[in-house]
Amino acid sequence: MSGAYRRRLSTLVLGRFARNVMARVTQGTLAVSRLWPGRTDRLTIAPNDLRTADATRAAEIYAGRFVFAGKIVTCHGRSIFEHEPPSHDWEVALLGFGWLRHLRAADTAITRANARSLVDEWMTLGGRRRPAGNRPEVMARRVISLLSQAPLVLSDTDGKFYRRYLRALAGEIRVLRFPTGNIPDGLPRLQVTIALCYASLCLANQARYIRSASRRLSDELQRQILPDGGHFSRNPGALIELMIDLLPLRQTFSARNIAPPPALLNAIDRMMPMLRFFRHGDGNFALFNGMSSTPTDLLATLLAYDDTHGSPMASMPHSGFQRLDAAALTVIVDTGPPPPPNVSDEAHAGCLSFEMSSGPSRIVVNCGVPTAGRDNWRVFARATAAHSTVTYHDSSSCQFVERGAMKRFLRGAPIVSGPSKVEAYREVGPNGTTLTASHDGYQSRFNIIHRRVLTMAPDGSRLDGEDTLSPPSGGRIKGGEAGFALRFHLHPAVKANRLDDARAVVLVLPSREVWTFEAHDDKVDLEESVFLAGNDGPRRSVQIVVRQDAKHNATVRWSFSRSAAGSPSATAARRSASRAPQLPL
């Protein structure tokens, strides 16, 4: 265990210990906060909810069937809040109350009455709330949902229910406003801040909090949103989660005739280009650092607010990503170190991994993570082997907290060691655009530097690559074995067949394009893989693997090239692919 590993782990443990002590000290105060929520007698404005609503789900909820995170619970005459949740994700979705938007989309007297009944059950059973509902980020989501869906819940209601609703809402807000020090850093802390801004703008007698809430929001946005518009967790999905709340917040400021904080406007302007940066030709996001399947409905809504409609930028140096584009070919590369340990619970060991797409077809991907049931796949999904890059000595380029007791205490498995020096530079020449990058994630353990060179042809017909694993100048590789594996995970829709010479693989895309992968001097294998980020859950796929020994051959040269549409090889590949059996789900 290196000194840097110990220092980072000690810092995480001390921080977690301090937050636990602070939470216990303030626990009694928070209980009083709910009993004495503060004065607010009316709702002055309800913010917009940009999340997509499905009116057909209102009938399911009315029938007592609650489907969240791939799990279903049927009430059978009991309150849904009294049922044992089938999963943590399901419980978070229930207690976040985002499902109220489906009832509002139906907009009938029955759904309005159903919404009031369910909220009344929650308020009545408040003493039996589960710990998940008291998590700050879940409470923040609930506050935003109850504010934005107030027209649905409070329509045609009596004064008594109206006052109970506002008291319950004010109690939640007062708890969030109290500085417990137990709010996880990163996205949860920013979501709490956003909820407090909504509360100060939407409720009467809360105007005195607008300035402090705006200042707190500005501070968090300046700290968490990097100069190029990325989130400091380096998870592309965080951008969607934040923008879907920040855009209506900007509108709410304007509706109250209050100038939005400059930091809010600036953050939105910087984040919008990042949404285009991470998109492939099919509209899905690249799978880096905890990104799952892309919520295409939310993304389409967000991009409708983009007035520039410009081409994606080539480099995001502060977030640590590079993008190569030529004609229909797109390559997105992770060229950054892991995020700070305190926001690395979802981060992956995927430095120098890349994804590639041609038009609407994704070809090379990372495995990603599923939208539900992440705990079952988390260890695998975060490993370097689940990414399209080099794995040295069957280990990951990052080290995670592994001991069960430590993970339970820290409430996660943050990264405690990984690449600290990641270099990347690009140049344009007659042969196209060349990206050269390297990282030192394996140096402390094996004295190895991974260097990757990618060259994209100007017409987008070819991607050439070179991966080298070698010690720094004058050094020697540590350890006896020096084996490494170069992996290219293929999208499940791609059909792959290895050629007889075992040095090339023919790929047929859903668009009927034919590409060929070739390792110029090495044997190529096709092995099983899994694509975790599918809309319908994990799916079987395949990966191209090239194995080599750094002591005997430190460099692997490879290429992806597109075959001409009418060439004999392309025609033969399509015929072979049409006869190949489909991979089972």
pLDDT of 34 over the 90 cut: no
Residue 201 burial by Cβ neighbours in a 10 Å radius (0-12, 13-18, 19+): buried
pLDDT at res. 206:
83
pLDDT band at 290 (very low <50, low <70, confident <90, very high): very high
pLDDT of 219 over the 80 cut: yes
Using DSSP, state whether 336 is helix, strand or coil.
coil
Average pLDDT of the segment spanning 48-54 = 93
pLDDT of 405 over the 90 cut: no
pLDDT at res. 254:
95
Using DSSP, state whether 104 is helix, strand or coil.
helix
Amino acid symbol at 71: K
pLDDT band at 572 (very low <50, low <70, confident <90, very high): low
Average pLDDT of the segment spanning 299-303 = 92
pLDDT band at 150 (very low <50, low <70, confident <90, very high): very high
Amino acid symbol at 34: R
pLDDT at res. 33:
46
pLDDT at res. 434:
97
pLDDT of 276 over the 90 cut: yes
Strand 315-316 to strand 321-326: parallel, antiparallel, or no bridges (unpaired)? antiparallel
Helix 3-35 vs helix 159-177: angle between axes, to the nearest 10 degrees?
150
pLDDT at res. 28:
47
pLDDT at res. 32:
45
And the tokens for 296? 């295409």
Cα radius of gyration (the chain): 26
Calculate what percentage of the chain has a pLDDT beyond 90.
Answer: 69
**CA distance linking residue 403 with residue 408, whole number of Å:** 9
- Cα angle 365, 371, 375; round to 5: 100
pLDDT at res. 307:
78
Average pLDDT of the segment spanning 452-464 = 97
pLDDT at res. 564:
77
pLDDT band at 401 (very low <50, low <70, confident <90, very high): confident
pLDDT of 425 over the 80 cut: yes
Query: How many residues are present in the chain?
Result: 585
Average pLDDT of the segment spanning 274-282 = 95
Torsion, CA 380, CA 384, CA 385, CA 391, rounded to 10: -150
pLDDT at res. 107:
87
Instruction: Return the higher-pLDDT residue of 405 and 505.
Output: 505
pLDDT digits (tens, 9 = 90+) for 59-100: 999 999 999 988 999 998 899 999 999 998 999 999 999 999
* Dihedral (CA of 290, 242, 208, 36) sign: negative
pLDDT at res. 412:
74
Average pLDDT of the segment spanning 188-204 = 95
Average pLDDT of the segment spanning 309-319 = 87
pLDDT digits (tens, 9 = 90+) for 92-144: 999 999 999 999 999 899 999 999 999 999 999 864 567 888 889 999 999 99
Average pLDDT of the segment spanning 5-32 = 52
And the tokens for 56? 């057909």
Instruction: Return the higher-pLDDT residue of 467 and 568.
Output: 467
Average pLDDT of the segment spanning 487-496 = 97
- Cα angle 528, 530, 534; round to 5: 150
Amino acid symbol at 574: R
Instruction: Return the higher-pLDDT residue of 13 and 179.
Output: 179
E strands of 276-345, at which residues?
A: 315-316, 321-326, 329-334
Instruction: Return the higher-pLDDT residue of 40 and 442.
Output: 442
Using DSSP, state whether 248 is helix, strand or coil.
helix
Instruction: Say how many C-beta atoms besides its own lie within 10 A of residue 436's C-beta.
Output: 16
pLDDT of 41 over the 90 cut: no
pLDDT at res. 576:
62
pLDDT digits (tens, 9 = 90+) for 16-29: 555 555 555 444 44
Supply the mean pLDDT for the chain. 88
- Cα angle 453, 455, 460; round to 5: 150
pLDDT at res. 508:
97
Contact 417, 4 (CB under 8 A): yes
pLDDT of 404 over the 60 cut: yes
- Report the number of secondary-structure helices (H) and strands (E) in the chain: 17, 21
Q: Tokens 């799978």 belong to which residue? A: 287
pLDDT at res. 37:
46
Average pLDDT of the segment spanning 330-350 = 94
Using DSSP, state whether 317 is helix, strand or coil.
coil
